[in-house]
Structure 1
């Protein structure tokens, strides 16, 4: 695979393509923006899975996306529940106005949240995302998680005991609503996230299937290489998009800290020394070299630029196998919902 900073897109099964490296924009949802900033209800409650110990300063996502675009990124991964899609959209529009990019240069992925699985809510939810972004379409729209929460004002509905209130969901019906969004031109491609093989097969074996998922976004890095799921998805032309490709923060409230920090791994650092690269750059290169899209999240300008500098070297077959052998089959993000 001949990858360059200017050309690192890979094909999707529907005829579109996706850049192998993107910018993740995950941000702390504990402080939702006002209705004028994101048109998000101020009554939203936080979830322990989606919580950092610090707040993300207003405007940091805006600047991060602009820096990323200037550095060469053309893939931005976001979500309604990150509460910063208004900043992402503003950054994209400003760079278009500057003449730096055209809309078709940018690949934006948005996500359908757990409370919006009922088919009648899917299109209005995507339309709300587009209104927040002030864009006409998203390039990829995915079901963020296969489980559903009770629909309503609260994005993280809980009972009096603090337990999540789940909602019976028909993933096939939700998928049909996504297909309709694609037909309407609101999403160029549609996919899923955090789906296992059984859930993928449920969609693909659905009677009357019009479009199969083009992608499945899951945790993927050298300590959690997802070999079985990756092989299954390859067989069915489903691209794996790896989140947390550099590991995660060490916040015990939502991260499995029993696994050691990925970026301190001796092998990754030794290989990095050989190529004059960081352990993070080696971890990212490992995944893109095997066709896994990576979306490292960072609002740090230096790290954003460093993460993009993975197209001027390649790992040997021996090094790829050595990194694959690091697999511990342990998740950092356990999705304890």
Structure 2
């Protein structure tokens, strides 16, 4: 399926067949949500178009997508404003998720992105008020601690998150990129609705321990960067195509030597996609969704055509042979960051 400027008509993301329960939290959302980071943060600044981003968000909602994910970090701060604008008058149609707990150092931005965790209760309490104001809402459906702060006991950070939930500012609370040890400690303080972590055919680390822990404990799993920051969609085949304002240009897996070896992963995805008459992005997303029934993915995109293509993944049924072939693809060369 080729990306174009139209919105998808089938399959509709919001149909019952494409909805999933996020663990035992009570949250039920579409298997594919929308990650909004790339609309305002770290990818090529020259290609940003707020008007098109608003169209993408609204087209996603038109087609039944219910999970919209943002964070105060993105922009920073401007992505929440953008999301709020796009959802004006449609707030009740979506599960709105945002995050706190990462503070950006813009000194070297955009070439280098440096962020520092801040998990103090004071920062968390102040952050949600800022997010609610920027989003133009009185509560969010899911509030997530973006990273665990190693300088603050997780019990203190998570206790503050639970207080916000008790106050009604957040209906559910979740963590992002937390390991099993921190998940155990947080769960002893208050229930965890979700964990958001990277998962794709080029980042499979969470499959070993984290995803099984979430499944066993009724915690929903939200997979971010399910397309490997665009790599699994075939968007980056040469490092030279990345601009200086695109943070991927400095990431180890996108460096020339590593990238050429990582193209073997993409070639494997493309081989399966060819058999299904599908785009590689659709196969990559279908593989992520096949990992666990309590898992949802939030691919990002900045043009409506790519949204069309991504939603087409809901119509892909990978065979056991396909899954075994994809599981056997080589590990990526280079670290994530």
Q: 1:28 offset after TM fit, Å?
A: 7.0
- Aligned partners of 1:284 and 1:310 also within 8 Å: yes
Task: Say whether 1:272 aligns with 2:273.
Answer: yes
Task: Say whether 1:72 aligns with 2:64.
Answer: yes
Selected match of 1:198 from 175, 181, 184: 181
Match of 2:6 in 1: none
CA distance in 2, matches of 1:327, 1:271: 15
Q: 1:183 offset after TM fit, Å?
A: 1.4
Selected match of 1:306 from 303, 309, 323: 309
Selected match of 1:238 from 219, 226, 239: 219
CA distance in 2, matches of 1:332, 1:24: 22
CA distance in 2, matches of 1:263, 1:202: 39
Structure 2 unaligned spans of 5+ = 1-10, 104-117, 231-238, 240-247
Match of 1:88 in 2: 83
CA distance in 1, matches of 2:333, 2:155: 29
Match of 1:296 in 2: 299
The verdict on how the C-alpha distance between 1:193 and 1:330 changes in structure 2, with shifts beyond 3 A counting, is: farther
1:240-290 Cα distance to aligned partner (Å, 9 max, x none): 211111112562323532255569622211221222210100010111122
- Aligned partners of 1:219 and 1:331 also within 8 Å: no
Match of 1:317 in 2: 320
CA distance in 2, matches of 1:67, 1:248: 21
Match of 1:121 in 2: 123
SS in 1 for 2:253: coil
Structure 1 unaligned spans of 5+ = 30-49, 97-102, 149-167
SS in 2 for 1:147: coil
SS in 2 for 1:256: helix
The verdict on how the C-alpha distance between 1:331 and 1:140 changes in structure 2, with shifts beyond 3 A counting, is: farther
Task: For CA contacts below 8 A with separation 6 or more, give which structure has more relative contact order.
Answer: 2
Stretch of structure 1 that moved more, 181-190 or 50-59? 50-59
CA distance in 2, matches of 1:325, 1:200: 29
- Aligned partners of 2:39 and 2:302 also within 8 Å: no
The verdict on how the C-alpha distance between 1:246 and 1:331 changes in structure 2, with shifts beyond 3 A counting, is: farther
After superposition, the CA RMSD in angstroms is 2.5
The verdict on how the C-alpha distance between 1:309 and 1:262 changes in structure 2, with shifts beyond 3 A counting, is: farther
Structure with greater helix share of residues: 2
CA distance in 2, matches of 1:262, 1:268: 10
Selected match of 2:27 from 4, 16, 20: 16
- Aligned partners of 2:143 and 2:170 also within 8 Å: yes
Selected match of 1:105 from 61, 73, 93: 93
SS in 2 for 1:305: helix
Match of 2:253 in 1: 256
The verdict on how the C-alpha distance between 1:200 and 1:210 changes in structure 2, with shifts beyond 3 A counting, is: closer
- Aligned partners of 1:59 and 1:87 also within 8 Å: no
> How many matched pairs?
282
- Aligned partners of 2:265 and 2:332 also within 8 Å: no
1:126-178 Cα distance to aligned partner (Å, 9 max, x none): 12111111112211111101136xxxxxxxxxxxxxxxxxxx21221110111
Please give the TM-score of this superposition, normalised by the length of structure 1. 0.76
Q: Map residues 27-46 of structure 1 onto 2, 5 A cutoff.
A: 27=38
